[in-house]
């Protein structure tokens, strides 16, 4: 049995691997960048070593540094987690040359499945169904455009390297093909150093269903059933569940056996995932699924498979890497219950999921009733622009799907994070959506859901609670924990009579002005607004936070006049910190509302700045390549 493991990763996956390794009495070795010196995975490991500065190109992607630390620390094996070097054949080869066991598949398997074009050709030979499309070396723009036309729109442009939704664009007509192709190639080059793409037929009502496979060094291979990962934004998974809703047993068996054929085609060892695109228009059927790609690593969503099978997949990885046969045969594996996982991100779900960067001032994640929390952060942790902004995975398991969804929604309702914007309320709303609960969804569900949920929230009760909290602190009076004025039947309002006098102040909630009304009576302050559900009020050194139904609002300051914080009409501000990747205009240019003015890149994702009015560009404050901060003035349109 392996007795020492270096985890070549960070965040929640590093913490996840350390937990199982400790359970197996295996020594754990962490690596960290300068900005991660106080990170949770560093504190949890038996040993930890600095490997470079914050950028991944100077730390977590520097294979030689990681190998050097592994040799220095006497690590027998390296677990790569996911992302970073996990699917890097060169790194796996380097481990092999230094007699360090790479906990993952062989170099051959990684290479075979690493490029989507080569993998699809291999799958055709292994009798695994593949989506119709173009896979070829000819990357001439005109040639690719012609191939898309022959395949028939809509099509999907995909980078052949990497994953995570980067370098992918759906194109619905010939008119938008060129711009989408250029954007996909730029993004792929930035993320993977490889801008080669393939083109596939886009399935109109698709579901994304993947099969967990596992192989050992003795040639055995099994599938641990399926996960439905259809709820995505920007082609990145948001909600995952196992088993897939409405999955017939014959289709489950057909997909599982196809996934095993795919794994056997490359003599697969360890944990892997075979991803299928599934036609959900007419129900799941044996002839309605096609191979997309194989991820030659552990997946982010592996906890839901662990929940329904009762197996620890990280333990399986370690045992297989130690030369042991698979812990279970296919006949010994079965499904019990239903599991759902959500990815809790530091992002603004109401504004195109822009990443949110800053310090976590307060954190409470409800883990009652058997809720599983996989996280790599704690209160005081910093969400930086250098790494993926995922804060935690929250997982619920129950006998039925309905019970699991309700259990997870309840946990989110009772959780709060302050200091950065998070998607807790968005996730809760997804779980409680009637169509999703009924199993009526595909990969376009979130886009349609957002269009239905654009109504502005009424923040009257939040403003009232904020005003009460601020007044109570300033005047040193008690903040009532009851709704006494609302217990009467005389319609509590501005004419309170013997109840007292209502006052108001203007508060800024997440930067927007709202009037907060409050009542001071008998040494206590009450919110003069009909209460909603129970509100969680958190005071940190910097701000006051109020959480309602899982959504946290920051009370930035109190304003007693009519002055506003919104940018004047015509000012174009950076929506997030990042690199000014493209600047399409200069002073004096005429622009029309809807024109793209600039592109800001952060976390390897592009965000276009669009003109909201027609006019003349002036006051350009930035240059191409500049690092911009959130809210920084980019230019003005007069």
The rounded distance, in Å, linking the Cα atoms of 589 and 474 is 51
The rounded distance, in Å, linking the Cα atoms of 115 and 110 is 9
- Active-site residue, 169 included: no
Number of neighbours of residue 582 by Cβ within 10 angstroms: 17
DSSP state of 563: -
366-371-376 Cα angle (round to 5): 70
| Cβ-Cβ contacts under 8 Å for 43 (sequence gap 6 or more) | none
β strands within 216-262, DSSP E: 221-233, 236-242
The rounded distance, in Å, linking the Cα atoms of 260 and 220 is 10
If residue 439 lies in a helix (H) or strand (E), which one and from where to where? none
β strands within 458-562, DSSP E: 478-479, 501-509, 512-521, 524-527, 535-539, 544-548, 551-559
* Residue 40 near residue 15 (C-beta atoms within 8 A): yes
Q: How far is CA 496 from the centre of its chain?
A: 48
| Cβ-Cβ contacts under 8 Å for 66 (sequence gap 6 or more) | 6, 8, 31, 51, 60, 78, 85, 91
Place of tokens 């995505």: 232
> Which position among 10, 233, 297, 343 bears the catalytic label?
297
DSSP state of 525: E
Nearest-Å Rg of the Cα atoms of the chain is 26
Active site residue ranges: 297
């Amino acid at each position: 049995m392996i007795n020492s493991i270096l985890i070549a990763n960070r965040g929640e996956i590093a913490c996840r691997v350390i937990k199982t390794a400790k359970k197996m009495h295996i020594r754990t070795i962490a690596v960290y960048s300068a900005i991660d010196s106080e990170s949770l995975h560093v504190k949890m490991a038996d040993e930890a070593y600095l490997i470079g500065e914050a950028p991944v190109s100077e730390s977590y992607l520097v294979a030689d540094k990681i190998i050097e630390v592994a040799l220095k620390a006497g690590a027998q094996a390296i677990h790569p987690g996911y992302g970073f070097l996990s699917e890097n054949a060169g790194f796996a080869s380097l481990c092999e040359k230094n007699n360090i066991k790479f906990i993952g598949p062989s170099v051959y398997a990684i290479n075979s499945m690493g490029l989507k074009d080569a993998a699809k050709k291999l799958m055709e030979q292994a009798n695994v169904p593949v989506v119709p499309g173009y896979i070829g070396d000819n990357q001439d723009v005109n040639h690719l455009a012609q191939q898309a036309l022959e395949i028939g729109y809509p099509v999907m442009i995909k980078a052949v390297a990497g994953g995570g939704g980067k370098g992918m664009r759906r194109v619905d007509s010939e008119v938008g093909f060129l711009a989408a192709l250029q954007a996909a190639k730029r993004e792929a080059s930035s993320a993977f150093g490889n801008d080669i793409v393939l083109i596939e037929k886009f399935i109109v009502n698709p579901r994304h269903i993947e099969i967990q496979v596992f192989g050992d060094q003795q040639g055995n291979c099994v599938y641990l059933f399926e996960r439905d990962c259809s709820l995505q934004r920007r082609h990145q998974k948001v909600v995952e569940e196992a088993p897939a809703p409405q999955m017939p047993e014959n289709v489950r068996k057909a997909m599982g056996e196809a996934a095993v054929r795919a794994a056997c085609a490359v003599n697969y060892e360890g944990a892997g995932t075979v991803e299928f695109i599934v036609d959900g228009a007419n129900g799941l059927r044996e002839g309605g699924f096609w191979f997309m790609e194989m991820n030659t690593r552990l997946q982010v969503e592996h906890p839901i498979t662990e929940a329904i099978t009762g197996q620890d997949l990280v333990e399986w990885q370690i045992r297989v890497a130690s030369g042991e046969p698979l812990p279970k045969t296919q006949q010994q594996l079965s499904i019990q219950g239903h599991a759902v996982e959500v990815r809790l991100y530091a992002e603004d779900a109401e504004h195109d999921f822009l990443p949110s960067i800053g310090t976590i001032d307060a954190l409470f994640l409800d883990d009652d009733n058997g809720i599983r929390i996989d996280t790599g952060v704690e209160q005081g942790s910093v969400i930086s622009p250098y790494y993926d902004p995922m804060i935690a995975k929250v997982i619920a398991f129950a006998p039925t799907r309905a019970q699991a969804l309700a259990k997870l929604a309840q946990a989110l309702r009772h959780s709060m994070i302050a200091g950065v914007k998070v998607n807790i309320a968005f996730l809760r709303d997804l779980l409680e959506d009637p169509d999703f609960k009924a199993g009526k969804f595909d990969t376009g569900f979130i886009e349609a859901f957002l269009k239905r949920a654009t109504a502005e929230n009424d923040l009257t009760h939040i403003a009232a609670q904020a005003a009460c909290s601020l007044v109570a602190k300033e005047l040193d009076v008690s903040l009532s924990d009851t709704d006494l004025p609302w217990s009467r039947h005389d319609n509590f309002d501005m004419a309170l009579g013997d109840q007292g006098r209502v006052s108001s102040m203007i508060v800024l909630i997440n930067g927007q002005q709202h009037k907060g009304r409050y009542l001071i009576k008998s040494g206590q302050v009450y919110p003069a607004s009909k209460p909603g559900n129970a509100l969680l009020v958190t005071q940190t050194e910097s701000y006051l936070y109020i959480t309602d139904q899982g959504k946290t609002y920051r009370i930035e300051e109190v304003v007693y006049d009519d002055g506003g914080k919104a940018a004047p009409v015509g000012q174009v501000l950076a929506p997030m910190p990042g690199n000014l990747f493209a600047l399409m205009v200069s002073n004096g240019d005429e622009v029309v509302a809807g024109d793209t003015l600039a592109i800001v890149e952060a976390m390897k994702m592009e965000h276009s700045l669009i003109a909201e009015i027609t006019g003349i560009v002036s006051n350009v404050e930035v240059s191409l390549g500049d690092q911009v901060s959130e809210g920084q003035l980019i230019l003005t349109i007069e």
